[in-house]
Amino acid sequence: MKIALAQQNYHIGNFEKNTEKIIGAIGEAKRLGADLVVFSELCICGYPPRDFVEFEDFIAECYLAIERVAAHADGIGVIVGSPMRNDAPRGKSLFNAAWLLYEKKVRGVSHKTCLPTYDVFDEYRYFEPGYQWSTIEFKGKKIALTICEDIWNLGDNPLYRSCPMDELIKQSPDLMINISASPFDYDHDEDRVEVIRRNVLKYKLPMFYCNAVGSQTEIVFDGGSLVFDSAGNVTRGLKYFEEDFAIVELEAAFAKKSIAKDAADALVPLDKEMRVAKVNDPERIIEYLTAEGNIRQIHKALIVGIKDYFAKMGFSQAILGSSGGIDSAVTLVLACEALGKENVHAILMPSPYSTSHSVEDAETLSKNLGNPYEIIPIKNIYESFLSTLKPVFKDSPFGIAEENIQSRARGNLLMAIANKFGYILLNTSNKSELATGYGTLYGDMAGGLSVVGDLYKMQVYALARYLNLHRRVIPQNILTKAPSAELRPEQKDSDSLPSYEILDKVLYQYIEKRQGPKEIVSMGIDPVLVKRILRLVNANEYKRNQFCPIIRVSCKAFGVGRRVPIVGKYLT
């Protein structure tokens, strides 16, 4: 039996395009003589569909699309993911289902049992967990068909009390198929492969694993679909961050040698914290955050994130404020790579407090990249604000208000140009400043998409160095000068914030690892400083609440996957 895996990039709610894509791959699979072709989780509607599934009209569209796809399931079996109505009187009205279509009919379905409801996932909001399990017969083989998270409970995942594969194995299946929409983070792929391998070793069956690829607003799916033989070897791996297609002989996936009993026995239970960032040694945090292997993956994810956001929103051109600092430099380089240099408009907006090198550095950067740029000084606008506000501000001293006016004048200019010419404003804030509230709402926090908002400042530097490896596009001065918002004379980030080496370490412990003040202090960091940093993080929730989507590359990004009360008083 030949099984094809179709790793594709879907658009949520775009039924026409999704079915067209699926039908295209069915045709390809037929031409190559496949018996069965497998797609990813909820491929019919795109993942995650969120509250769209609460619309009966949306579900009806899913069913119509299933019919259209089923019409092509002649002479070939097709496994797709799509919501399924729950006709039982009890339980939520939908299942997250895998459908086997064959001979133009629905031949079998599986309901997802383990519904991820943490971080960016909300599946229990919509779906009833599966509670009945049976293998599906196809051409004389019994398939144990599961969906994504279903294989993440090997009996030792404390998040779930059910283990669907433990149920299915009782029916002596011949192979396992898992359809997934498993998102990228720079820590995740290793876990994913290990979890699949453990299933193979535990159940002694080959596994055909088909993952989604492409970005949906903030969530990047990285593909990497694969086939394991029954001895726990990867016999076929699909590309990462790209659509791909593969066809594999089932028979070849039955390993001739039996599984070394030792290998299966040697497995220790997976860390409870598998889904939490892994590094515990405080001395190694920065090394880990900036490791080249991680940065290389992050780079690919950000490119997909930018590309897909624009393509799926129907835009092609970007604008951003280019300050001569490291964050906007990295964002600009990435945007040029993702969208084409001619489609990225850099706006240099010096204020009375900008240093001369800022404009020079930003100009050199755009000359290196070859993208269009404009210099628009904000002095006149800034002064018109000050004179307009004079009757209200009177003779109060220069302060945060005046700093923010400059930042918001820039935001206004960028949005005006974006509105005039139909560009999307890319935001250039990094995770360290978002965490501490070191940014101006409606000013430098403006934008439709945040590119480096899930990278700590030290990671932005590491990414800059990585981008410069092959071709020195980012001027050295941007990499070496002290970071500054340049909103008052001689300002430096270090006036208000601790060094990024320390700050990022504390933030990582608090945000990614959910450590409390006691644990962080025990890393040897000044208790007063820890208290101050955690207070900043929690007190600035109101700002992040109004921030744009951030391309997610870590296991805990700000945004939809991190939900913290705004009026909370914890650690503030």
Indicate whether 183 belongs to the interface with a second copy (CB under 8 A).
no
**401: its two tokens:** 């208000």
**SS3 state at 550:** strand
User: Among 2, 11, 30, 532, which residue interacts with a second copy (rule: CB under 8 A)?
Assistant: 11
CA distances from 281 to 220, 277, 284 (A): 28, 12, 5
Active-site annotation holds for 41: yes
- List the beta bridge partners of residue 345: 319
Choosing from 21, 43, 45, 112, the catalytic residue is 112
Q: With contact defined as beta carbons under 8 Å apart, do 36 and 4 qualify?
A: yes
User: Among 283, 442, 492, 501, which residue interacts with a second copy (rule: CB under 8 A)?
Assistant: 442
Indicate whether 568 belongs to the interface with a second copy (CB under 8 A).
yes
Nearest CA to 277 out of 267, 269, 289 is that of 289
HSE of 461 in the Cβ direction (CA atoms, 13 Å)? 19
- Which lies closer to a second copy via its Cβ, residue 28 or residue 519? 519
- Which lies closer to a second copy via its Cβ, residue 255 or residue 571? 571
User: Among 85, 109, 117, 255, which residue interacts with a second copy (rule: CB under 8 A)?
Assistant: 117
User: Among 64, 71, 260, 400, which residue interacts with a second copy (rule: CB under 8 A)?
Assistant: 400
Instruction: Give me the least distance between CB of 236 and a second copy, in Å please.
Output: 30
User: Among 1, 159, 193, 521, which residue interacts with a second copy (rule: CB under 8 A)?
Assistant: 159
Indicate whether 160 belongs to the interface with a second copy (CB under 8 A).
yes
- Identify which range of 152-160, 252-260, 477-485, 495-503 contacts a second copy by CB under 8 A: 152-160
Question: What residues numbered 12-71 form the site for a second copy, per CB under 8 A?
Answer: 12-14, 17, 46, 48-52, 54-58, 60-61
Indicate whether 9 belongs to the interface with a second copy (CB under 8 A).
no
Burial of residue 251, with CB atoms counted within 10 A of its CB: 0-12 exposed, 13-18 middle, 19 or more buried = exposed
- Which lies closer to a second copy via its Cβ, residue 52 or residue 241? 52
Indicate whether 564 belongs to the interface with a second copy (CB under 8 A).
yes
Indicate whether 499 belongs to the interface with a second copy (CB under 8 A).
no
User: Among 20, 27, 118, 494, which residue interacts with a second copy (rule: CB under 8 A)?
Assistant: 118
Instruction: Give me the least distance between CB of 480 and a second copy, in Å please.
Output: 32
Residue with tokens 């399990």: 133
Active-site annotation holds for 112: yes
Distance, in Å, from the CA atom of 199 to the CA atom of 381, rounded to the nearest integer, reads 63
Distance, in Å, from the CA atom of 377 to the CA atom of 321, rounded to the nearest integer, reads 12
Q: With contact defined as beta carbons under 8 Å apart, do 45 and 57 qualify?
A: no
CA 495 to chain centre: 33
Indicate whether 484 belongs to the interface with a second copy (CB under 8 A).
no
Indicate whether 404 belongs to the interface with a second copy (CB under 8 A).
yes
Query: How many beta carbons lie within 10 A of that of residue 143, not counting itself?
Result: 27
Choosing from 148, 210, 548, 555, the catalytic residue is 148
- Identify which range of 63-71, 85-93, 198-206, 489-497 contacts a second copy by CB under 8 A: 85-93
**148: its two tokens:** 């994504």
Residue with tokens 């997976």: 270
By CB under 8 A, the count of residues binding a second copy is: 101
Q: In sequence order, what DSSP letters do the residues of 10-66 get, joined into one string? A: --TT-HHHHHHHHHHHHHHHHHTT-SEEE--TTTTT-S--GGGGG-HHHHHHHHHHH
- Which lies closer to a second copy via its Cβ, residue 208 or residue 310? 310
Indicate whether 90 belongs to the interface with a second copy (CB under 8 A).
yes
Beta-strand pair 424-427/318-321: parallel
Active-site annotation holds for 148: yes
Distance, in Å, from the CA atom of 183 to the CA atom of 346, rounded to the nearest integer, reads 31
Question: What residues numbered 288-347 form the site for a second copy, per CB under 8 A?
Answer: 308-309, 312-313
Instruction: Give me the least distance between CB of 344 and a second copy, in Å please.
Output: 15
Residue with tokens 């409390």: 516
Question: What residues numbered 419-438 form the site for a second copy, per CB under 8 A?
Answer: 419-420
Q: With contact defined as beta carbons under 8 Å apart, do 227 and 235 qualify?
A: yes
Question: What residues numbered 503-562 form the site for a second copy, per CB under 8 A?
Answer: 514-519, 542, 545-549, 560, 562
Q: In sequence order, what DSSP letters do the residues of 502-517 get, joined into one string? A: HHHHHHHHHHTS---H
Question: What residues numbered 353-382 form the site for a second copy, per CB under 8 A?
Answer: 374, 376-378, 380-381
User: Among 193, 252, 264, 417, which residue interacts with a second copy (rule: CB under 8 A)?
Assistant: 417
Choosing from 41, 128, 512, 541, the catalytic residue is 41
Q: Please name the amino acid found at residue 366.
A: S
Indicate whether 398 belongs to the interface with a second copy (CB under 8 A).
no
Nearest CA to 343 out of 423, 412, 429, 413 is that of 423
**SS3 state at 275:** coil
Residues known to be catalytic = 41, 112, 148
